[in-house]
Amino acid sequence: MSSKKNEIKKLPRQVRNQISAGEVVKRPASVVKELIENSIDAGADKISVEITEGGREKIMVRDNGIGIPSDKIEEAFERYTTSKIREIDDIHSLETLGFRGEALASIASVSRLKIKSRYQSEKKGTIIKFAGGEKKERKTAGLPVGTEIEVRDLFFNTPARFKHLKKSATEAKQVSRRITAEALAYPEINFSYENDGSERMKTPGDGNLKSVIFHLFGEEIYSELIKVNSSSKILELSGFIAGPKVTRSSRRYEFFFINRRPAINGNLRKGVESGYSEYLNKGKYPLVFLNISINPILTDFNVHPNKKKIKFSRGQEIREIIAGEIEEALKNYEGTKTDINQK
């Protein structure tokens, strides 16, 4: 081996950011997720997303949150810079979605990124352009309060990652699913989504989950919704499930929000499906939109940087509670239906 290879050296900042980008930024949908979460953390009640070519060409997320102070924007694009935690223990009492301070640095390092932001107490906004994480341009401009981030040419400088992108339609589907989940998790936020110039989704932002479901999925599902609302020793369950008349042949319509984060968890899935077991044929899955609020001590969101899969302690117990509640809700619902029929 050449002596050069053996030499231990700290990697340049750009390379470090690109490596960590591999964890955070897998595809357009993960960029959308990170940017939306930042917008939510910034207190936005209006978030617009636009993509072209499945996000391979362009991803834009605009919000009306508090914005970033002009002299803090560059800092926000450094790794491990965050306004959200100060010490490790803060992770356990987190009220924000972000905390790693990695997203902006990572995304910028593998794209051409333009940020426009105006902080709430400042008169003017700032526009900064980055390419591969390097600052290219900075100017002041008249802007509304809030932040707009445009990401172009994702992975233009990391060919190995670029190669793994799927065709535009597939990427767009993932993006759409992500926005759907966020819109369901935050009924008080007005989401809109445009793909290749045409509007695909819009939610009213009136704080009503049922009306979000109506706007996203239409009358058929809306009219079959059953309200769920219960609390037990370790968790509170709220939201809607669809009556067993409407089913799907995949799990894509099983939505779970744990302390308001869209999440995937085996115990929740199995609990729901066992609650429905009397009603569903093999290969059919229910539609559920369920908020679980639970003591964060019982959850571990930190299993992976993209925070989609979560782990529970006392998972078995949680699974049984969910199964029981679903079964109960369906039983009552079937009961009211027979009452009506008998009248």
Choose the contact partner of 83 out of Mg ion, ligand ADP, none; CB within 5 to 8 A by kind.
ligand ADP
Contact 37, 97 (CB under 8 A): yes
Nearest residue to 265 via CA among 233, 224, 304, 217: 304
Give the helix/strand (H/E) hosting 239: strand 235-242
Decide: is 103 part of the binding site for ligand ADP (CB under 6 A): yes
Cα–Cα dist 283/254, whole Å: 14
Q: Which is nearer to ligand ADP, 81 or 211 (CB)?
A: 81
Q: Which is nearer to ligand ADP, 147 or 174 (CB)?
A: 147
Three-class secondary structure of residue 270 per DSSP: helix
Q: Least distance to ligand ADP from the beta carbon of 158, Å?
A: 18
Whichever of 83 and 274 has its CB closer to ligand ADP, that residue is: 83
Closest to ligand ADP by CB, 38 or 291: 38
Q: In the bound complex, what is the minimum distance in angstroms from residue 237's beta carbon to ligand ADP?
A: 28
> Counting contacts by CB under 6 A, is residue 68 touching ligand ADP?
yes
Question: Which residues are paired to 202 by β-bridges?
Answer: 192
Task: Please report whether residue 65 would count as binding Mg ion according to CB under 5 A.
Answer: no
Using CA atoms, how far apart are residues 236 and 227, in angstroms rounded to an integer?
13
| Least distance to Mg ion, CB of residue 111, Å | 16
Among 35, 49, 73, 103, binds Mg ion (CB under 5 A): 103
Q: How far is the CB of 38 from Mg ion (least distance, A)?
A: 4
Interaction partner, residue 65 (ligand ADP, Mg ion, none; CB < 5-8 Å by kind):
ligand ADP
Sheet of 58-63: strand order equals 134-141, 125-131, 112-118, 146-152, 58-63, 46-52, 190-195, 198-202
Q: 307 vs 60, 76, 258, 325, 337, CA distance in Å? A: 22, 20, 11, 26, 40
Stretch binding ligand ADP (CB under 6 A), from 32-40, 183-191, 252-260, 296-304? 32-40
Residues at the contact surface with Mg ion, assessed by CB under 5 A = 38, 98, 103
